[in-house]
Amino acid sequence: MLSYKNIFKILLSFFIVFNTSNLLSTELSEISKLRIINISEGVRVIFESDKPVKYEVFSLKNPSRLVVDLANINFSDDFSLPPNKGVVKNVRFGTFSSDISRIVFDLNKPLKRIKTKLLKPSSGKKRMLHIELETIKDNLYIKKEIQKKSFKKSKSSKKRKTIVIDPGHGGKDPGTSFQGRLNEKDVVLNFSKTLRKKLINEGYRVFLTRENDKFIELKERVEFAKKKGTDLFISIHADASKRETVRGFSVYTLSEKKWIERLKKSQI
Ligand SMILES: [Zn+2]
């Protein structure tokens, strides 16, 4: 979710808005494919759907992004996000309301112009939404970047990535416990402090959700991370097993597949 500060930033960095049609329609269109192809001016993003799609396209600056809002759509079962191509360095789902799905394209160059067109099917049933992104020419862009750099040298520290480390449990919640003598909450706190030192040495900004043996609600941990403008959130736990031979670790990350499933069910 966005903090007020972030929303403000985004509003400030608004660049162009194309409002091609209103987003009020209740009939669901199914998006079966999303492709990115290189064209001489930049890239073309192509959505394939079975019915006309109500959409809104706009771009954001700093960093450069293209945002596509699609109203009342479903993703087909085999839908997947396309690999990065050309100026598109990442494709992801952004924020959603109950009937609007948002897809964000992170770009490695500023945009000069966006052209959109919805093509009627010539053969077959598929409709195509074409979005052409024209980016600023390389030499022009490099010149601008150099100017910017000499302007804002002192601001380079702003680019440091922020990591929030979350030592699990704490206070009344010991986590896993070994005969009441060794508790998970203490192990993970020690580990987190060591990890902080290492990451600070690597040049990151690092914060811990707790510095001592304190109980913190899950919600508060998330709020803390949001407030810090976190790029990466790492929650540290130390699991135990009754079997002595068990070794290794488990890593939980966001599942893109599950995310799409939840999206289809409009849970997000
Ligand atoms: Zn735990």
pLDDT tens per residue across span 148-159: 655 555 444 457
Per-residue model confidence (pLDDT) at position 149 = 58
pLDDT, residue 113, reads 85
Intervals of the chain under pLDDT 70: 1-26, 94-96, 122-124, 138-158, 262-268
Residue 20 maps to a domain: yes
Q: What is the pLDDT of residue 11?
A: 38
* pLDDT score at 188: 95
Q: How far is the CA of 174 from the centre of ligand 1 (A)?
A: 9
In DSSP terms, which residues pair with 130 in a beta bridge? Answer: 46, 117
pLDDT at res. 110: 86
State how many domains the chain has.
2
What is the predicted pLDDT for the residue at 143?
61
Q: How far is the CA of 254 from the centre of ligand 1 (A)?
A: 18
User: Ligand 1 centre and the CA of 168: distance in Å?
Assistant: 6
What pLDDT is attached to residue 12? 35
pLDDT at 134: 83
Same domain membership, residue 121 and residue 166: no
Residues measured by CB to lie within 5 Å of ligand 1, the ion? 168, 175, 237
Same domain, 128 and 170: no
What is the predicted pLDDT for the residue at 242?
79
Distance 224 CA to ligand 1 centre (A): 19
Mark whether 128 and 10 lie in a shared domain.
Answer: yes
pLDDT score, position 70: 87
pLDDT of 10 reads: 41
- Same structural domain, 200 and 77: no
CB neighbours of residue 66 within 10 Å? 23
Q: Determine the distance separating the centroid of ligand 1 and the alpha carbon of 236, expressed in angstroms.
A: 7
Residue written as token pair 């919600």: 219
Give 179 Cα–ligand 1 centroid separation in angstroms.
Answer: 16
User: What is the 169 CA–ligand 1 centroid distance (Å)?
Assistant: 6
Give the pLDDT confidence score for residue 1 in this predicted structure. Answer: 44
**15 and 128 share one domain:** yes
> Exposed/middle/buried for 165, CB within 10 Å: 0-12, 13-18, 19+?
buried
Q: Name the pTM for this structure.
A: 0.45
Q: How far apart are the first and last CA of the chain?
A: 11
Domain annotation covers residue 63: yes
Domain of 194? 157-240
My answer on whether 42 and 90 are in the same domain is yes
Residues 122 and 175 in one domain: no
CA-closest candidate to residue 116, choices 38, 19, 13, 243 = 19
| Beta-bridge partners for 58 | 17, 67
Q: In what order do the strands lie in the sheet with 65-71?
A: 14-18, 54-60, 65-71, 100-107, 88-93
